Chains A and B, each alone.
Chain A
Amino acid sequence: MSMELDVFVGNTTIMDMEVYQLWLDGLTVSDAVKVRMDEGALLECEANAEVLTSDTMDQFRTFQMCERLLHSPTKLGSQLLYQIPAQNQRILIERYYEFDSVFAREVLGKKLSKGTKKDLDDISCKTGITLKSCRRQFDNFKRVFKVVEELKGPLVENIQRHFLLSDTLARDYAAIVFFANSRFETGKRKLQYLSFQDFAFCAGQLISYWTVGAVDVWEPNDPDMDVDLEKEFLHELKDLKVLVNDKDMMDQHKILVCAALRGKIKVYKLMEVNFKNLSRALINLASKLTHTKDVRDLFIDLVEKFIEPCRYDRWTVAEITLFLTHYTNAAHCLGTFRYQMIWDRYMGVIKSCILQMYHE
């Protein structure tokens, strides 16, 4: 005797959120049944393995059928096929679009294309996340990217409007879209210590301050405001070169910073010695950003040229904070330095990125 058909349908679609998570994790029905058994599901209601299997299959089928709708979450609210309470709809969507930061870290900055999709096997092996789950997460990234890529207006809001995600999750997606669009280099070995959250923070900073949408009032005709860095701004960054090219100005800058920091940081000596190198690193970075290639290397450059030297000298985060604060402020006191606005806009982001990326 065997069961050929086993169906359970409610007028209101009934879903067990624990089983949903197992499904999202890409487990097979039998694996999910095992997990549920280990969690003691059999103790409830005198269930047996058969009951549990039937329930799991049923739930998995429901999720699979809803998956199509989850691809365009706005449809979930207006579709007629499944009657799902609004609160459950939100949970369904949110969980479906949640991702493992380990996975996101792997694909961050990569082109969301078929080529990358082929690498998912490796990522799955490396991270221990099932291939099925990797695919879902990757497809989610790609789907969100495709939808908002061409849209005007604030990135986070666009994502929220089209995918009905929570604020935090929408921000994470904004970071992923931003990285995928600008193709920032994140895969180098030297960058491996950085987590997804580190990058997401940096992306947030870049989106907030360096894109077109960051300064201008949004106008309907502005293209791609949040996804691309503002060209004009990047161009203007070249002017900052004066800080290293003008010897007087550089010395003056150093004197001001040293005066402010003397006695306040332990690594003062080393700082004094390295000031010119550090300053040059930051300014050169700024002036190169007109080239797409160098934009991509922004993070690796920050690590190689600034973070690594500091770490070598065992700076603490507090010391770096002090240094960068005074380094930024000191430039205002340089009588001949005329690019205050650009300078603040540049250093504000660089400072917070460095602080986020600097792990002691």
Chain B
Amino acid sequence: MPGKLKAKIVAGRHLPVMDRASDLTDAFVEVKFGNTTFKTDVFPKSLNPQWNSEWFKFEVDDEDLQDEPLQITVLDHDTYSANDAIGKVYIDIDPLLSCEAATVISGWFPIYDTIHGIRGEINVLVKVDLFNDLNRFRQSSCGVKFFCTTSIPRCYRVALVHGFVEELVVNEDPEYQWIDRIRTPRASNEARQRLISLMSGELQRKIGLKVLEMGGNAVVGYLQCFDLEGESGLVVRAIGTACTLDKLSPGTDSKEPVFSEDPPHPLSGPPTPLRTLPSSSPPPFSPSKPCSRQSSSSDTDLSLTPRIGKTSPPSSPSPPLSAPFLIPSQKLTEFPIFTLTCFPPGFLVHVGGVVSTRSVKLLDRIHNPDEPETRDAWWEEIRQEIKSHAKALGCHAVVGYSESTSICEEVCILSASGTAAMLNPRFMREGCLDTGGSDHSCGFVHIPYDEFNMPFPAQLTYCYHCRRQKVPDVLFTTIDLPAEAEVTGKGCLIQARLCRTKKKAQGEVNATSISNLLPFMEYELHTQLMNKLKLRSMNALFGLRIQISVGENMLLGLASATGVYLSALPAPGGIQIAGKTPSDLSYDQHISTMQKRIDDTIAKNKELYNIHPPECIEEVVGSPIPDRQRSSRLFRSTSESSDELSELDLSHGKKDAFVLEIDDTDAVEDIQSLLTDAPIPAGFYSCNTEVMPGIYNWTSGLQMFTSVRVYRLSNANLTNQGLNKIFTDLCENLLKSLYFKLRSMIPCCLCHLNFTVAVPEEELIQVRGHTYLKIELCVFVCFPGSGENEEQLQFSMELFSSSERCSPLPEGRSRSLRSTRSLPCGAPVTVVKMTPLSFLPGTRIVKYLGIINMFFIRETTSLREEGGVSGFLHSFIAEVFAMVRAHVAALGGNALVSYSMKECVFMENPNKNQAQCLINVSGDAVIFIRESDQEAIPPLLSSRQTSSTGADGTT
């Protein structure tokens, strides 16, 4: 199905001086799509050329429309020598292919050069005419909408969730091709940028085809990643959740954007809104050809997720709930996986816990790019394992699923994690006994597995909310806090950090040693998380993300999550320190001082996070206050209960969460790290989830930041403890820096704090390990502290206005306001907000304009002149932001939600004065309007609005 792409080059501004003699530039533009190129006239002697070109028309088929970017090159005309390139603009025209997204791309784009950065701007107009009627169009892969957002997009309603989609494409990395030795760095960078752009276009198109095959029209929670495998090649892979979305027209009086009650699905007789179609579930993998050099695979899991096979399989999920969900004939292995992290209320029936899998692979050159079987097989293997873990937890689905890799030379760790869950098959209110009417429900914390045949030892108690069902004592998940969850107090960011040295090795030996280290790292991270959770008197973790990065001589583990006190779960026990060594007086004293410090910290944290569980709990289970007696009681009962269970030897893992044995050097270290975590300064709150648990009165002032730090460890002969200390300090210092920088904005909340660590290889100097710590820290949102419930709304409105006034950084309120304040020269730039959240507090998203997925390379051969590595990276990140904003604005949007910087690879060679950096960013371009602007809109609409934003507003 062909289409006609039309582009018009309007003007340029702020162009660089290309002719030293005249201090001017003779600029012209080449517009290229596929193999067709058009040129504008030369606009002589101007830094602000007005080309006002004709419409350049490209007649192309839709496959190209999806894969290829429109390539605009600005050049300086030179009569005697070759024309000099000023820079390029790549425009992804995918948003124009969906009838519901943008209709035209028009605006100023920064002209980007991989060596010089941004050099002026160009005004471009792009349109697409598709030669077909709407119906035929919708049959093609073009019409499929993509969303990075991991929840149901705000102005849509889900008719049907089809399930998991995945795809990967591989290619040779141009950087490692022979031709790279003879071409210029610029040519090489551009080849790479173009290739990745093509590959992600192709990937998106292929995923789109799969979605259409399944009968869906959208991909939600689309996560695309690059694996730069060096010599072995380049992998672009993506996962997502296929859905059928219905657009909510502004007037419709739909109650909530929920999973629909009766989906119009042709295949299913009974109303089964959520089902996996048989064709979709087994992804078209060819699981033949197992990688020959694969050395080992470790399926270490948190103690909550036992190895399958060791434990007797739990009884299958209770039939009435699972039956409609699964197609009767479906095999048990075909569990659905969801990349979503946020669900409509009542959708999650039960949550089992975190399931994760890691696998160490040796990379091999990709011989045939058209058959990426090896990589596909690797991931398929991992997904199968995840599914089996979920099954072991008595769950039939994995939600909040994500995949990641860490590559060091030829070793690659593939990781996947998610949360095992039982989903409501029909979102039927009568099916779930707790959801009826009430705002809060506790259903999702109830155990999905069989009480008498637990997959791992856990303390079960009756739910503190409904007192009918059993709940575990702690709950770890990778999803966001469900809107219906009742929370006591406030949440906070909890991090576990770990550093382990390993011997430098090659090939299989290396992979084996990494593989052997992984279970210990996971175990220790888990213990740390558990201890920190107890120390804060909390009982659940949300948004858990464990990253393990591999370097030449060390492994880094960083786990981040948001801790909360779920009212439905039992109060956590305290932490008791026990000494094994026969008592000697000073030793006992030492222990008791430690114990006192811990108890004091717990008490202090309770105040800080405002955790005061309601009194009624006491009647049911006795003292909720974690005194020593209670914790020891729990400890005892843990071992008792483990006796009744299978011969699982994970019970000691539970024990450690409560009792720290002091003669164990690890435990001393743990206690140290527990107590050395700096308290968060007053007025700050932090979490890594979308919304801050326990705080609901948001204002609309928000900011997004990215911070990158690289440390050089001067001495590689450090012990594990020494490294741990250093690593912890680095993380703590980074947080401290952030608090300091944002001090003028308190009270504020750092949301979606997203830490990423990497250990880049250091070729020349063996002893020096590079710890590369990148924080991609994002939003912060002001709020006025906790007010009384009934006053909340009014209160937040007050602050809304006052923060506009007194905040040192008042952002332009909106495009319209900004433009009235126009500066004397030039049109004012549209203010574009960027946020890693899927929403903007205090606003309503009225339209999704399409996905933004951009990849940039920047290189310099004059590193010192550009302000060293920091100056170089700082300006590059600023440039990337600028280009993202320009694309959003050109689509007609004023914000980018679900923003993430998925890749930020930095390489430098200070001796040669060179550096190179690669950045990949993505997000959803949207148009939002302020809630306060809504007074003009009919009341019907605003009433709908309040219910749809109820999840993040006051609950």
Binds A, one of B265-273, B458-466, B786-794, B818-826: B818-826
Q: How far is the CB of B493 from chain A (nearest CB, A)?
A: 16
- What is the distance, in angstroms, from B817's C-beta to the closest C-beta of chain A? 9
Residues of A within 8 A of B744 (CB): 16
CA–CA, A161 and B770, complex, Å: 50
Q: Does B837 sit within 8 A of A, measured CB to CB?
A: no
A79 touches B (CB below 8 Å) = yes
Q: Is the CB of B810 within 8 A of A87?
A: yes
Interface assignment of A283: CB less than 8 Å from any CB of chain B: no
Interface size in chain B (residues, C-beta < 8 A) = 64
Interface residues of A in 146-195 (CB under 8 A from B): 161, 164
| B809 in contact (CB, < 8 A) | yes
| Contact A4-B110, Cβ < 8 Å, known A44-B743, A51-B737 | no
* Interchain CB contact (< 8 A) of B875 among A2, A57, A65, A161: A65
Answer whether residue B828 sits at the interface, using C-beta atoms and an 8 A cutoff: yes
Residues B820-841 near A (CB distance < 8 A) = 821-829, 831-834
In the complex formed, the residue of B with least CB distance to A5 is B710
For A219, the chain B residues whose CB sits under 8 A away are: none
Q: In the complex the two chains form, what is the Cα distance from A64 to B708 in whole Å?
A: 19
Instruction: List residues 76-94 of chain A with CB under 8 A from any CB of chain B.
Output: 76-83, 85-89
Taking the closest CB of chain B, its distance from the CB of A270, in whole angstroms, is 54
Asked if B881 and A8 sit within 8 Å, CB to CB, the answer is no
Per-position 1/0 for B696-707, Cβ under 8 A of A:
000000011111
User: Using Cβ atoms and an 8 Å threshold, which residues of chain A touch B740?
Assistant: 44-45, 47, 51-52, 55
Q: Select the stretch in B204-212, B358-366, B711-719, B940-948 that faces chain A.
A: B711-719
Query: Among the listed stretches B166-174, B540-548, B567-575, B865-873, which one makes contact with chain A, having 4 or more residues with CB under 8 Å of it?
Result: B865-873
Contact B821 A3 (CB under 8 A): no
Smallest beta-carbon distance A202→chain B, Å:
29
The reply to whether A57 and B870 contact each other, CB–CB distance below 8 Å, is: yes
A23 CB to nearest B CB, Å: 14
Closest residue to A91 on the B side, CB-wise?
Answer: B808
| B811 at the A interface (CB under 8 A) | yes
Q: Which of B14, B713, B737, B828 has the most CB of A within 10 A?
A: B737
Answer yes or no: A140 CB below 8 A from chain B CBs: no
- Chain A stretch 50-87: residues in CB contact (< 8 A) with chain B: 50-52, 54-55, 57-58, 61-62, 64-65, 74-83, 85-87
Asked if A86 meets B710 with Cβ closer than 8 Å, knowing A8-B705, A48-B736, the reply is no
> Separation in Å of the B748 CB from the closest CB of chain A?
12
A1 touches B821 (CB 8 A): no
A17 interface residue, CB < 8 Å from B?
Answer: yes
Tell me how far the C-beta of B732 lies from the nearest C-beta in chain A, rounded to whole angstroms: 11
Known contacts A3-B709, A7-B877, A11-B703: A78-B906 contact under CB 8 Å: no
Tell me if B878 and A78 are in contact (CB < 8 A): no
Query: Are A81 and B879 touching (Cβ within 8 A)?
Result: yes
Are A11 and B869 within 8 A (Cβ)?
Answer: no
B766, CB-defined interface residue at 8 Å: no
Q: How far is the CA of A16 from the CA of B871 in the complex (A)?
A: 18
Nearest chain B residue, comparing its CB with the CB of A75: B14
Known: A51-B733, A78-B13. A86 touches B812 (CB 8 A): yes
Q: Taking the complex as formed, is B127 at the interface, i.e. its CB lies under 8 A from any CB of chain A?
A: no
Residues of chain A from 1 to 34 with CB closer than 8 A to chain B in the complex: 1-17
Chain A residues with CB under 8 A of B191: none
Binary flags per residue of B673-716, CB closer than 8 Å to A gives 1, else 0 = 00000100100000000000000000000011111111111100
In the complex, chain B residues 268-282 whose Cβ is within 8 Å of any chain A Cβ: none
B811 and A79 contact, CB distance less than 8 A: no
Interface string of B731-764 (1 = CB under 8 A from A): 0010011011101100000000000000000000
Question: Are A81 and B882 neighbours in the complex by a CB distance under 8 Å?
Answer: yes
When distances are taken between beta carbons in the complex, the residues of chain A under 8 Å from B870 are: 5-7, 57, 61
Q: Is B108 an interface residue (CB 8 A)?
A: yes
Give the contacting residue for A1; candidates B14, B712, B877; CB below 8 A: B712
Residue of B nearest to A90 (CB): B823
Residues on the B chain within 8 Å of A61, using CB: 867, 870-871, 874
Answer yes or no: A246 CB below 8 A from chain B CBs: no
Bitwise, B453-490 to A at CB < 8 A (1) or not (0) is 00000000000000000000000000000000000000
Interfacial chain A residues near B823, Cβ < 8 Å? 74, 76-78, 86, 89, 164
Residues of chain B within 8 A of A216, CB atoms compared: none
Q: Mark B108-128, 1 if CB is under 8 A from A, else 0.
A: 101000000010010000000
CB distance from B120 to the nearest CB of A (A): 10
A46 in the interface, Cβ–Cβ < 8 Å?
A: yes
Contact of B705 among A9, A79, A81 (CB under 8 A): A9
Closest to B775 in A: A8
Q: How far is the CA of A13 from the CA of B821 in the complex (A)?
A: 19
Q: For B873, list chain A residues within 8 Å (CB).
A: 5, 7
Q: A5-B906, A57-B870, A78-B827 are in contact. Are A11 and B704 (CB under 8 A)?
A: yes
Q: Are A7 and B879 touching (Cβ within 8 A)?
A: no
- Nearest CB on B from A336, distance (A): 52
Check if B829 sits within 8 Å of A79, measured CB to CB. Answer: yes
Binding site for A on B (CB under 8 A): 13-14, 108, 110, 118, 121, 678, 681, 703-714, 726, 733, 736-737, 739-741, 743-744, 770, 808-812, 818, 821-829, 831-834, 867, 869-871, 873-875, 877-879, 881-882, 885-886, 906
Please give 5 more A-B residue pairs, beta carbons under 8 A apart, in addition to A55-B740, A161-B825: A5-B870, A81-B878, A83-B831, A83-B832, A164-B824
